[in-house]
Structure 1
Amino acid sequence: MRRAFLAVADFISLVLGYVSQVLLLVLIASMLYEVVARYVFRAPTLWAFDVAYMATGALFILGAARCLRQDAHVRIDFLSSRLPARVRGTIEGVAYLFVLCPIYGWLAYIAGQRTVRAYMTGEVETVSPWAPLMWPFYSALMIGLAALALQLAAEGIRMLLAPKGDDTFKLEA
């Protein structure tokens, strides 16, 4: 059961990591198109700014769970690096599982409520001349936050059972 949960969390993080890579390509393509349209053809787009901020926000939050799984988040660990692996793993496991996971789960819930409300009301970006629908963007934020909460739970379990540097119990999926 535990291995299945970890495998599911890792798989979701992996897939969303690939989605965030595709969104990076969308961001690059849209910005290149905007530059050419604006400076070569003197015809700027209405949608480039909206695509840029939505793609950037979505790719960062959708890639966050994968980044956590790969232990690629920036952290300041000058104190914790001096602790034994078991103590450090326990502290990180408790923080991930009982502090951060519930916080990000709650944020995902709030984002889900905002997504449903935006869908039901047909909410659009009010400061944009293009006025895109907002629920797809809110959906991406909700999915990314939920995946991050799930990955925090998985990493918390891993840390509590097998802290980094301790090879006595491996739970790699």
Structure 2
Amino acid sequence: MLRKTIKTIEALVEFIGKAAGYFNLMLIAVIVIDVALRTLFSLTGAWVIELEWHLFAVIFLLGIPYAMQQDRHVRVDLFYERFTHKDKRLVNLLGTIVFLLPWAAVLFFTGWHYAAEAFATGEGSPNPNGIPYFFPVKAMIPFAAGLLVLQGMATGIGVYLEPEDAEWEVAEDE
């Protein structure tokens, strides 16, 4: 049952991570249209620039749990690359428990309050013709942190459940 739960979490994170990748296409389209309209017709709006920021934020936030799942996150490999498989598993497990989960929980709770305050006050752009509500993008902060907690737990439990003799590699920088 634990393995099934891990697979479900990882499938969810993978689906959301890949879906967030499509926001890159939206962001590129918005930027190209904005630049073209600004250059050709001197047309632009504050909402367009704010939409670009919001799309970038969503891409970044939803990409974090996916990057962790795919082992594409930043890692300082001074010593790690020379560790045995067993030591790498221990480092990953301790790193998840000591650093990732507590900080993701802090991000979740502070992000939740941040988004709730934006929703309660109806926070929007201070710019004329800006985006009327900021709470949807601010709600991505606790959502992404929640996904990060789930992925961290799945990774930590997966490392614990992994057989001792399993082949395991860390993605190398290209």
Q: Whole-Å Cα distance in 2 between the matches of residues 143 and 128 of structure 1?
A: 29
Task: State the match for 1:160 in structure 2.
Answer: 160
Task: State the match for 2:135 in structure 1.
Answer: 135
Q: Whole-Å Cα distance in 1 between the matches of residues 11 and 67 of structure 2?
A: 13
Q: CA separation of 1:18/1:132 partners in 2, compared to 1, >3 Å: closer, same or farther?
A: farther
User: Percent identity over the alignment?
Assistant: 23
TM-score (norm 2): 0.86
Q: Which runs of 5+ in 1 are unaligned?
A: none
Contact 2:51–2:131 (8 Å) recurs in 1: no
User: How far 1:151 moved relative to its partner?
Assistant: 0.6
Q: Which runs of 5+ in 2 are unaligned?
A: 169-174
Give the total of aligned pairs. Answer: 168
Write out per-residue CA displacement over residues 117-171 of structure 1, whole angstroms, 9 at most, x where no aligned residue.
21111011335751431100011122111101211111112223338x94189xx
Task: State the match for 1:16 in structure 2.
Answer: 16
TM-score (norm 1): 0.87
Task: Please state whether the residue corresponding to 1:126 is helix, strand or coil.
Answer: coil
1:135 corresponds to which letter in structure 2?
Answer: F
1:153 corresponds to which letter in structure 2?
Answer: M
2:56 corresponds to which letter in structure 1?
Answer: T
Contact 1:19–1:59 (8 Å) recurs in 2: no
Alignment of 1:32-43 (within 5 A): 32-43=32-43
Task: Please state whether the residue corresponding to 1:132 is helix, strand or coil.
Answer: coil
